[in-house]
Amino acid sequence: MVVIESARRNTPATRIFAFGLFALLLALLSLWSLTIGTTAIPLGDALRAIISEGTSHQDVVISTIRLPRVLTAIIVGSTLGVAGALMQAVTNNPLASPDLLGISAGAAFAVVISIVFFDAQSPLVFLWFAFGGAAVAGILVYMVASTGVSGVTPVKLALSGAVLSVFLGSVSASLLIFDMKAIDIIRLWSVGSLTGKDMAAVAAVAPFALAGVAATLLLAREVSTLSLGADVAQAVGQNVLLWRLVSGALMVLMAGSSVALAGPIGFVGLVVPHIVRLSLGTDYRWILPFCAISGALLVVMADGLQRSLTGIDVPVGVTLALVGAPFFIWLARLRAGGIG
């Protein structure tokens, strides 16, 4: 009876209302995050700093430090949430996400290469290297996972991604040992940080990230069909190879944008799609937009809470790992037990 009653309440009107509430909550959390920091700034002063171009200390802090930080959190959270949902749908693997399948590690490794060997410091340069690294990593993981008689399986994809992530992380660490200047640049970025972003960096990356999210939302019907499996998708006339390639390009676009802006932030792409699917079912026309706003909510909330509770600037990647790691262990045990 509970399930039937829940299904009755889960109507399009209810979902639209829920999305509106999520959007309102995101706006409120974002405003609250603007007031938190070494120096507390009243909400009214924070709003005035956004609207007007003042020169006071508070105005400068809001416009150059806290506002870019909040926008970065929103962009990163939404792109990772949507990228994770897309990856899980295309691979039919509930353990898939950009960080667990090596996509984020490939993008991060490419950014390290750009800093160590090309002395890159521009977010736009990071962005193009991240795109290339994410694409190469994705291809390598798929090639390794496709070997053997059984072909590509969820377990082989996860293992291939984990091995590649560890390998690229080790190589990156080895390169940074010999370049102290690069370590200073990449120290916080490498664990996923919202610190030190300016509006120029946000403006450089945002168009690519938002384009990836928007394109994925427009293709939600195709994604829903892909999530049913290759056999079903082909039976209803879908060109599976074409849409997998398109989906792969969108994953690279979103994961690369996120890594270029804030470094490799884990578990958002894993946790958010699962929570959304538990509430909405399997229709990606609803899952994808809710993953976008839920991912943004998660990152903004995680960043704001840790700054409010600890009073220090802990990288958001560390905070999310503390939440996401137990969730991943629980999910893996659930799958191993044949329940999920």
DSSP per position, 232-261: HHHHTT--HHHHHHHHHHHHHHHHHHHHHH
Distance between CA atoms of 83 and 90, rounded to whole angstroms? 11
Identify the pLDDT of residue 6: 46
pLDDT at 299: 96
What pLDDT shows up at residue 298?
94
User: Which residues of the chain register pLDDT less than 70?
Assistant: 1-9, 328, 331-332, 334-340
Residues contacting residue 152 through CB under 8 Å, at least 6 positions apart: 91, 142, 145, 146
Dihedral angle of Cα 85, 89, 91, 93, to the nearest 10 degrees: 70
pLDDT of the residue at 45? 86
* Structural contact between residues 69 and 89, judged by C-beta atoms closer than 8 angstroms: no
Q: Which domains does the chain have, with CATH numbers?
A: 24-336 (1.10.3470.10)
pLDDT value at position 310? Answer: 79
Position 254 scores a pLDDT of 96
Q: What is the pLDDT of residues 153-206, one digit of tens each?
A: 777 888 898 899 999 999 998 888 887 777 877 877 888 889 888 899 999 999
